[in-house]
Amino acid sequence: MKFLDEVELDIRAGKGGRGAKSFRREAGVPMGGPDGGNGGKGGNVVVKADRNLHTLLDLHFRPLWHAEDGDAGSGSRKDGKAGTDLLIRVPVGTECIDAKSGTVIIDLTVDEQEFILAKGGRGGKGNAFFKTSTNQAPEHFQPGEEGAAGIFKLSLKLMADAGLLGFPNAGKSTLISRVSAARPKIADYPFTTLTPNLGVARTRDGRSFVIADIPGLIPGAHAGKGLGITFLKHLERTRVLIHLIDPYQLQENGEPMDALEAFDLINAELVAFSQQLSERPQIVVLTKADLAPDLSAHQEISARFRSRSIEVMSISSVTGLGIDNLLIRVADQVFAAGGVLQTNTSEDEV
């Protein structure tokens, strides 16, 4: 299934039905009087969060959403039928934004949460409504009101407790495939991951949390290099960042990249995107420990991080070295940051 996280929709609620102008005509009743019924209300356009959806792709192929108009009123004081509401189902974590002003109208963060994005117009009053003691035969009736309308941008931000961050080929996809049922593409070339992935990770003590993997960053991502910072918004809801660094990663000139330099370069991109996101708690993880002849190199790099009061761990997603301890630490951080850890979450739910 293709991933799509932003769409623009042309939305119009239903127009209210016209009120009726009618006078009663009945044998033996010479002064029947007005009996025009009211028009029906126009249908609303409603957005609803659905935990079973994970992309906005279906909406991309249906940009126009117009709710049903209300029916007109008729004689014998018969009111018109109200227009049917139009329901738009979206993934949990979808923001609805006024495309003109950029204002966030609603953020749907809970399954089954609903919001009326465009309200249907009121039905017009029939002439029977305007009958008074001084106006026994009103000719006046109302047309229905137009429904609310506008262009709305829907933007999906994944709902995850922890987010994986780092350069391309730092081992993010391998890690999420190791600790969850997520099966992202894994290969030995940059930008293997082209879209975000979600998985449920479980600790050995039974706790679980949702983890997100996004495409790798490179220096200059904020200016559009590589895949840019488009997908960083999917880390905005996370409570802790897991910053993966491959100590054997090479720069473009073929020289080994210093791990602290890699850390600082990625964090510069975070600052360029969002100061708030850059201040999120981070756990630095040195990956691919299985490739080291011994762990002395990892230990030396770890000491340099700790000298800057940066938390750091070493793992191997291939052998499982350090994975259990990492998951325990992430779960502790998620809880400390106010997250609610699940003990019975099914991976089919993400």
Q: What is the DSSP string of 183-235?
A: -----SSTT---S-EEEEEE-TTS-EEEEEE-----TTGGGT-TTTTGGGGGG
Of 230, 216, 207, nearest to 185 (Cα)?
A: 216
Residue 293 reports pLDDT greater than 70: no
Buried b (16+ CB within 10 A) or exposed e, 189-204: eeebbebbbbbbbbbe
pLDDT the model gives residue 186: 55
Amino acid at 115: F
pLDDT the model gives residue 141: 94
pLDDT the model gives residue 251: 53
DSSP secondary-structure letter at 111?
Answer: T
pLDDT, one tens digit per residue, over 235-272 is: 898 999 999 998 876 555 556 678 888 899 889 989 98
Between CA 8 and CA 62 the distance in angstroms is 10
Class for domain 162-349, per CATH?
alpha beta
DSSP secondary-structure letter at 246?
Answer: -
Q: Is 133 helix (H, G, I), strand (E, B) or coil?
A: coil
pLDDT the model gives residue 332: 92
Q: Among all chains, which residue has been given the structure tokens 């004689």?
A: 75
End-to-end CA distance of the chain: 14
Task: Say which residues have a Cβ less than 8 Å from residue 341's Cβ, sequence separation at least 6.
Answer: 161, 207, 208, 209, 331, 334, 335
Of 170, 207, 161, nearest to 190 (Cα)?
A: 170
Whole-number percent of the chain with pLDDT over 70:
85
pLDDT the model gives residue 254: 57
Amino acid at 128: A
pLDDT, one tens digit per residue, over 303-339 is: 999 999 999 999 988 899 899 999 999 999 998 887 6
Adjacent-strand bridge partners of 242? 164, 283
Higher pLDDT among residues 345 and 333, named by residue = 333
Q: Strand pairing of 86-91 and 45-50?
A: parallel
Between CA 32 and CA 131 the distance in angstroms is 12
Higher pLDDT among residues 182 and 159, named by residue = 159
pLDDT the model gives residue 136: 84
Q: Is 143 helix (H, G, I), strand (E, B) or coil?
A: coil
In order, the DSSP letters of 10-36 are EEEPPPPPPPP--B--BTTBTT--B-P
pLDDT the model gives residue 229: 75
Residue 1 reports pLDDT greater than 60: no
Give the CATH number of domain 6-156; options: 3.20.20.150, 3.40.50.300, 2.70.210.12, 2.40.37.20.
Answer: 2.70.210.12
3-state SS of 300-340 is HHHHHHHCCCCCEEECCCCCCCCHHHHHHHHHHHHHHCCCC
Mean pLDDT of the region 44-58:
92
Instruction: Name the residue ranges covered by the structural domains of the chain.
Output: 6-156, 162-349
Fold agreement between 6-156 and 162-349: no
Between CA 304 and CA 310 the distance in angstroms is 9
pLDDT, one tens digit per residue, over 187-234 is: 454 455 557 888 889 999 889 999 988 887 877 766 666 566 778 888
Task: Indicate the helix (H) or strand (E) that contains 6.
Answer: strand 6-12
pLDDT the model gives residue 192: 54
Mean pLDDT of the region 27-44:
84
Q: How much is the pTM?
A: 0.77
Estimate to the nearest angstrom the gap between the alpha carbon of 66 and the chain centroid. Answer: 23
pLDDT the model gives residue 223: 64
pLDDT the model gives residue 340: 61
pLDDT, one tens digit per residue, over 115-147 is: 999 999 999 999 999 988 888 889 899 999 999
Residue 36 reports pLDDT greater than 50: yes
CA–CA distances in Å: residue 148 to residues 65, 112, 155, 204, 242: 12, 23, 21, 52, 44
